[in-house]
């Protein structure tokens, strides 16, 4: 890698870390916010669903635009919007304004996540890509390592303080990216990415060529799995708080432990797992572990069981996301923004339905959400056996 490529990757990792630190700050505060403002689980689900709906609408549009105008301006605007959304969340106690904040946050996520992944794919070779995407995923986990602990401390001052802090991190991320990230044209591309014709790839940059069986199955897998994944994650803190009396400190501890474990897997082991198993097998194993861990949580009788099962589930999720993303980016040397935008958009469809479903079911019965989630994870696991991609198609 050239110096400018390494610098660009460093800024992407730093920006991802700061934003995810902000996300980690507010996660353990959500149950307290629900109780303090007398909101229902469905209200909380609507907030998450609006965030995801904004992602769904915006992602493919932004992905296509970033292919044409460049990655840096899209990333900068997205990071700035993230800071704005958190500040709005901090200044209000009105449910409608919370919802507006989540919509802005969803637009921000649609601009930052797929564009960052697209830029990483643009400037790396296929051999480097799994490692770099693993680093970006590790930045997410790293933010969650520090975020919950800091969020718990800040919430002791005022339950809105973590949101102010997250907003400040969003602004700092914007400044760092504008100052330090080279312009797209100044970043050296791998020779393979500069070729006008790529004969070894199944996709040639035209969206019509996405309609081939392996890619359709991958996108269907993303859609169905995201329903299950978000159904699990969106109400986790509410579930353990209501069923097992987890405090903010307990939730922060679980998320911190998960962050440490995921960081080790993503930084040190993800690239090796991809080389040893290939992406399709790794995705399959992750779905099975997530399914088994969800069942364990349903039948758990102690906090310790819940913590252990949760660590299995979240670690599987944290490996699953970069594995699917890596595989998709290897299918085309062109239009990475479009591919990652479609990835995010389809994920958002599940993200809209999952939190709404889980929030509504949690209001009915505490265990209903995870029974349904286990079913969708089982379907996703079975679908992985239908994904057949030959070695020369991602060479």
Confidence bin at 336 (pLDDT 50/70/90): low
Q: Quick one: pLDDT at residue 306? A: 92
Mean pLDDT of the residues in the chain:
79
344 CB-near residues (< 8 Å, 6+ apart): 55, 59, 63, 109, 110, 113, 114
C-alpha 134/C-alpha 122 separation (Å) is: 15
User: What pLDDT, on the 0 to 100 scale, is given for residue 233?
Assistant: 78
Tell me how far apart the alpha carbons of residues 230 and 217 are, in angstroms, rounded to a whole number.
Answer: 20
pLDDT tens for 251-271 read: 878 877 877 887 788 778 888
The answer to whether 79 and 170 are in contact (CB under 8 A) is yes
Q: Which residues of 131-163 are buried (b: 16+ CB within 10 A; e: fewer)?
A: bbbbbbbbbbbbbbbbbbbbbbebbeeebbbbb
In a domain, 196, yes or no: no
Helix 303-329 vs helix 248-264: crossing angle, to nearest 10: 40
pLDDT score for 197:
39
pLDDT digits (tens, 9 = 90+) for 12-63: 888 777 777 766 676 667 777 788 888 887 787 787 778 777 877 887 788 7
Rounded to 10 degrees, the C-alpha dihedral 106/260/121/20 comes to 20
Higher pLDDT, 308 or 251: 308
The domain that contains 111 carries what CATH number? Answer: 1.20.1250.20
pLDDT, residue 176, reads 83
Q: Give the rounded percent of residues in the chain with a pLDDT score beyond 70.
A: 83
Checking if the pLDDT of 289 tops 90, the result is: yes
Q: Using the predicted structure, report yes or no on whether residue 293 has a pLDDT greater than 90.
A: yes
**Taking 60 as the threshold, does the pLDDT of residue 394 lie above it?**
no
pLDDT, residue 184, reads 63
Q: Is residue 192 part of a domain?
A: no
pLDDT tens column, 96-146:
898 898 899 888 878 887 788 778 877 887 777 777 877 887 776 677 667
Total residues belonging to the chain? 395
Integer CA distances (angstroms), 340 to 66, 112, 149, 172, 294, in order: 11, 11, 31, 25, 28
Predicted confidence at residue 80, as pLDDT, reads 93
Q: Judge whether 139 lies within some domain.
A: yes
Residue 195 domain flag: no
CA separation for the pair 34, 56 (Å, rounded): 25
Q: Which residue has the higher pLDDT, 47 or 368?
A: 368
What would the pLDDT profile of 63-109 be if each residue is shown by its tens digit? 778 878 888 899 999 999 989 988 998 898 888 898 898 899 888 87
The tally of domains found in the chain comes to 1
- Residue 287 to residues 26, 273, 384: CA-CA distances in angstroms? 27, 15, 9
330 and 126 Cβ atoms separated by less than 8 Å: yes
Residue 190 lies in a domain: no
pLDDT above 60: residue 207? no
Domain coverage including residue 230: 3-185+201-393
| pLDDT at residue number 198 | 40
| Ranges assigned E (strand) in 20-166 | none
Q: Of 196-210, 211-225, 303-317, 377-391, where does mean pLDDT reach its minimum?
A: 196-210
Task: Answer whether residue 70 is part of any domain.
Answer: yes
Does the residue 343 lie in any domain? yes
pLDDT mean over 219-231: 78
pLDDT for position 395: 46
Average pLDDT of 321-348?
Answer: 70
Provide the pLDDT for residue 216: 77
* pTM given for the model: 0.67
Band of residue 364 on the pLDDT scale cut at 50, 70, 90? confident
Domain for residue 249, yes or no?
yes
- Least confident stretch, 280-289, 299-308, 318-327, 345-354: 345-354
pLDDT band at 203 (very low <50, low <70, confident <90, very high): very low
């Amino acid at each position: 890698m050239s110096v400018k490529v390494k610098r660009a990757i460093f800024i992407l990792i730093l920006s991802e870390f700061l934003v995810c630190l902000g996300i980690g700050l507010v996660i353990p505060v959500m149950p307290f916010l629900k109780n303090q403002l007398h909101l229902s689980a469905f209200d909380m689900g609507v907030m998450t669903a609006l965030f995801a709906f904004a992602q769904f609408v915006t992602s493919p549009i932004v992905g296509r635009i970033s292919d044409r105008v460049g990655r840096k301006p899209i990333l900068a605007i997205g990071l700035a919007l993230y800071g704005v959304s958190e500040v709005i969340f901090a200044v209000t106690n009105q449910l409608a304004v919370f919802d507006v904040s989540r919509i802005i946050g969803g637009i921000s996520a649609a601009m930052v996540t797929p564009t960052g992944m697209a830029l990483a794919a643009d400037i790396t070779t296929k051999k480097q890509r799994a490692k770099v995407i693993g680093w970006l995923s590790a930045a997410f986990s790293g933010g969650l390592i520090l975020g919950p602990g800091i969020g718990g401390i800040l919430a002791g001052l005022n339950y809105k303080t973590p949101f102010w802090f997250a907003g400040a991190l969003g602004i700092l991320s914007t400044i760092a990216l504008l100052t330090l990230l080279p312009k797209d044209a100044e970043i050296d591309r791998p020779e393979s990415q500069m070729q006008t014709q790529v004969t070894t790839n199944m996709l040639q940059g035209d969206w019509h060529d996405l309609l081939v069986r392996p890619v359709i199955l991958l996108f269907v897998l993303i859609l169905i799995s995201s329903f299950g994944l978000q159904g699990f994650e969106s109400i986790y803190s509410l579930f353990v708080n209501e069923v097992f009396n987890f405090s903010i400190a307990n939730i922060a501890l679980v998320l911190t432990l998960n962050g440490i474990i995921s960081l080790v897997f993503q930084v040190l082991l993800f690239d090796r797992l991809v080389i040893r198993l290939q992406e399709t097998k790794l995705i399959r194993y992750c779905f099975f572990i997530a399914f088994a861990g969800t069942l364990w949580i349903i039948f758990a009788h102690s906090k310790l069981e819940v913590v252990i099962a949760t660590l299995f589930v979240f670690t599987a999720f944290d490996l699953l996301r970069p594995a699917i993303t890596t595989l998709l980016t290897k299918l085309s040397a062109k239009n990475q923004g479009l591919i990652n935008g479609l990835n995010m958009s389809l994920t958002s469809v599940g993200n809209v339905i999952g939190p709404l479903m889980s929030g509504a079911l949690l209001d009915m019965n505490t265990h209903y959400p995870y029974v349904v989630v286990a079913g969708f994870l089982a379907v996703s696991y079975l679908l992985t056996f239908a994904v057949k991609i030959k070695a020369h198609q991602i060479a």
